[in-house]
Chain A
């Protein structure tokens, strides 16, 4: 213990823990404690019990989660299987799917599906002219459709990685023992790949539960937990945050249960692939190949619908809330640049600062956790993973409750928005940096130290340069997800500090779809440009797509 105290790394660990305690544990504690009653003596739990709609909302949320997870898996798993194992025409298009997941923010996905299928929408009007009435896109129809096509890519990516990492020699061994190819896949490949698939599916479930943008825009008549939580934050401004903390606590509880389930599923049984040779893709010729190619291409095209609608919508004339499809103008984009460029500047500024701060903190923390283990580092490791269990809304509520007044008032500043971004992305940054550090042998550092370079300098001059490619990849991915963040920032922002997703959300609320599309187009551009730069110019492998 005494030697621990003398080590500078121990004090750094303590400092990191203090920072996390202040900005992560304190908000979470306030959220959980807030549900048990403030000055009025009432408890949030009694409020929730009184009104039946909250129970309905929880049930609806769980049902929605289940249905979307199922449908997303039904699309994602076969696509991943066929992409991994077969060559077919159109396969190149499918390879850009991971990109689409990142490039299209949820708020834009909801908006563009509405612009196509809403009552005023392009497709609805076209069909209505031919006499076909589509059911209302608001409610279950829209929720399930949009969420499935938003989240199936997560299942696709996870399953693809698992199948690619599966050693095909095991399958070949089964076949050489007399089992048919199909049965050998079923009995050998599926059990090995299943944990990853289930892990992705459970991830989709948690994303659906915490989803804010799509749920708020499309749910109208259907009570959902995330929507009611947000509405509670809006209506409880200035009074005790009872309802919002209770609903936030319920959401945290659901996600925690699911995450434990996921850990149990992945940890159950030890499956170590010692040496892996992925299967070679079979060429699928003739009509099966064409069929497969068309189905895959169709799915990808549907996923691209948001981007296409945004581009069309941004250049379409609109009078107030009514879109004049077919007439074109550049006025929407001009308006963004000349009259209201603030959201653009705010997004760029806050996301840049958050990415820089987040990556720096993640690298420091994972260095401590991986290389400088001491008594406290397991706690540090656990804390950095904690934000995974918290939806953006919960984080926003916690930050506002903790930093509204008192000794550290942050509301009204841009700092609280940056803080929300950093906290949300913390697990991703630390996971990424940790996995890179695991691959850097200790001996390199020790060699440097033994040659007389002090430990801290060794870190900066030996370890850090080795991490740079991975750090850059993580920075680009953090940037793309931070720029599109909505659910936390919409709770903590203040006048003049709207980011682009917040502005888009407000414009959709006012029914001004054309203006929302103009911002949406800019948002997509701001997301795509760094990715293009990194992959084309600097040749960084962002998605580990080469198996």
Chain B
């Protein structure tokens, strides 16, 4: 029995195949690649809200520390693979301005002018506050540290952990702030107490799992453990002043998704997404139209003592600072 395929059958088959491929596309379909340093909960908030706000758009992510992702973007600059970078502080972004394309989203209207970039190169998404995440079970009977002076006490030697500032803008903000507030000597004492790990996520996991007593990180990451019900975790906002920084997202120059990348930026800055980020990932919005204290149990920004830091200076002197820190860290056995 032989199967003969007549020319007609073949023609019909090919046409049918072609028709299925050339189905009319919906508006706003496509995929957007976000290079993000934020955790899985934050990403999920974005994609969840995206289902309703931007149906048909598929978000995919590449994760890593902000420093690593930016270096990767640099390597890919000839043929970018990512569309949006979300997010990092100005102190880290400052060295990579060539990678981004200015874009002023309509959502910027809700964000305080003080946080706008003069050329629209990046947009403020969230505000972070540095905290000490403390696992009370691991303190070994010592009282809860309340100030930076407490944290620099040698009795916490080997019990503190922070990420590598070369990879993580979180760590860079905290360490730069410590050097400004407590001087080079303060930074040195911190370096001798603290262990440096290459990834920011390790800090949270280590303190959460009881491997370390104190981790220096941002409140949004640490609060997830408290909200989850792990009773031995406390968040300490050092009463002599802590550091706050805005976290920016940027549109990547030559983004493969084109116009869709700009829609993705709008989406990330929108009120729906920012509210969901607050509820699911405890990230303070930069937008002024969301009342934080009403929605979650984080302290209002006005009640926290913030030590002001010049972010532009931090950006300009990042490379030098990293060198100084590497020397201190190496000297203390990291």
List residues of A whose CB falls within 8 A of some B CB: 51, 114, 118-120, 136, 138, 220-221, 231, 234-235, 237-239, 318-322, 324, 339-340, 342, 409, 412, 494-496, 506-507, 509-512, 515
CB 8 Å contact bits of B205-219 with A (1 = contact, 0 = none): 110111100000000
- Contact pick for A235, options B51, B73, B167, CB 8 Å: B167
Q: Cα distance A152–B31 when bound, in Å?
A: 45
> Is B228 a contact of A318 with CB atoms below 8 Å?
yes
Give the size category of B's interface with A.
Answer: 35 or more
Write the nearest CB–CB distance from A190 to chain B, whole angstroms: 43
- Contact pick for B47, options A237, A339, A496, A511, CB 8 Å: A339
Q: Given the interface contacts A220-B211, A221-B211, does A506 sit within 8 Å of B229 by beta carbon?
A: no
Q: With a CB–CB cut-off of 8 A, which chain A residues contact B74?
A: 238
Write the nearest CB–CB distance from A42 to chain B, whole angstroms: 16
CB 8 Å contact bits of B117-143 with A (1 = contact, 0 = none): 000000000000000000000000000
Q: Is B202 at the interface (CB under 8 A from chain A)?
A: yes
Contacts A/B (CB < 8 Å), 5 sampled: A51-B330, A136-B211, A319-B229, A322-B228, A511-B225
CB 8 Å contact bits of B254-298 with A (1 = contact, 0 = none): 000000000000000000000000000000000000000000000
Q: With a CB–CB cut-off of 8 A, which chain B residues contact A321?
A: 204-205, 208, 224-225, 228, 230
Residues facing A in B132-175 (CB within 8 A) are 164, 166-167
Chain B residue nearest to A217 (CB atoms) is B205
Write the nearest CB–CB distance from B97 to chain A, whole angstroms: 16
Write the nearest CB–CB distance from B120 to chain A, whole angstroms: 25
> Is B228 a contact of A320 with CB atoms below 8 Å?
yes
Q: Given the interface contacts A322-B230, A496-B60, does A119 sit within 8 Å of B208 by beta carbon?
A: yes
Q: With a CB–CB cut-off of 8 A, which chain B residues contact A324?
A: 229
Q: With a CB–CB cut-off of 8 A, which chain A residues contact B204?
A: 321, 511
Q: Cα distance A509–B210 when bound, in Å?
A: 15
> Is A120 a contact of B209 with CB atoms below 8 Å?
yes
> Is A496 a contact of B33 with CB atoms below 8 Å?
yes
> Is B224 a contact of A495 with CB atoms below 8 Å?
no
Write the nearest CB–CB distance from B159 to chain A, whole angstroms: 12
Q: Is B82 at the interface (CB under 8 A from chain A)?
A: yes
Q: Given the interface contacts A138-B211, A235-B198, A339-B48, does A494 sit within 8 Å of B81 by beta carbon?
A: yes
Q: With a CB–CB cut-off of 8 A, which chain A residues contact B33?
A: 495-496
Q: Is B177 at the interface (CB under 8 A from chain A)?
A: no
Chain A residue nearest to B42 (CB atoms) is A510
> Is B61 a contact of A495 with CB atoms below 8 Å?
yes
Q: With a CB–CB cut-off of 8 A, which chain A residues contact B35?
A: 495
Q: Cα distance A509–B204 when bound, in Å?
A: 9
> Is B202 a contact of A237 with CB atoms below 8 Å?
no
Q: Given the interface contacts A237-B68, A322-B228, does A515 sit within 8 Å of B40 by beta carbon?
A: yes
> Is A495 a contact of B62 with CB atoms below 8 Å?
yes
Write the nearest CB–CB distance from B197 to chain A, whole angstroms: 8
> Is A342 a contact of B229 with CB atoms below 8 Å?
no
> Is A509 a contact of B208 with CB atoms below 8 Å?
no
- Contact pick for A118, options B31, B72, B79, B209, CB 8 Å: B209
Q: Cα distance A321–B204 when bound, in Å?
A: 10
CB 8 Å contact bits of B69-85 with A (1 = contact, 0 = none): 00111110001011000
